[in-house]
Amino acid sequence: MDRYLEFAANHTLLVVALTVSLFVLIFSELRRKASGLINIEPTAAVTLMNNDATVIDLRSVEAFSQGHIVNAKNIPFAEFDAQIEKIAKFKDKPIVAVCDAGVSSNKAVDSLRKTGFESVYGLKGGMTAWTQAGLPVVTAKKTKSKGKGKK
């Protein structure tokens, strides 16, 4: 114990930085838990999707068409508040909100929880984490396989 006190006395700045970091970490975790925001990893999202969860993709139409999760419904975040009634039919199912990096989905999850949705989750890391996990992505582009070489 004497060695710890001696270290603390000799390295006051380090001890203060460690203490502040610890309090910031604890405070942010408690605040996140109190707000009710629940972010899930991509593998947990797959489990929910296999149990009939609805995926709401909050990205733009262009980003959605470049690649999205199978059976995801595209409701751009800019139009989200106006489209909440459209999502109401999924109220009894789990909902996974997806955006590019997980920021907009937190706002959407918070908004849905305030309107009475209970099983709403945000995809931690968004589509970036989804693709990094090697999970499947569907594109809306149609391929032209026939008639390509014909004139």
Domain segments of the chain as ranges: 2-34, 37-132
CATH number given to 37-132: 3.40.250.10
| Percentage of residues in the chain having pLDDT higher than 90 | 40
Using CB atoms within 10 Å of the CB of residue 104, give its burial: 0 to 12 exposed, 13 to 18 middle, 19+ buried: buried
pLDDT of residue 36: 57
**How confident is the prediction for the chain on average, in pLDDT?**
85
pLDDT at 144 over 60: no
- Is pTM beyond 0.75? Reply is no
User: What confidence tier does 33 reach under pLDDT thresholds 50, 70, 90?
Assistant: low
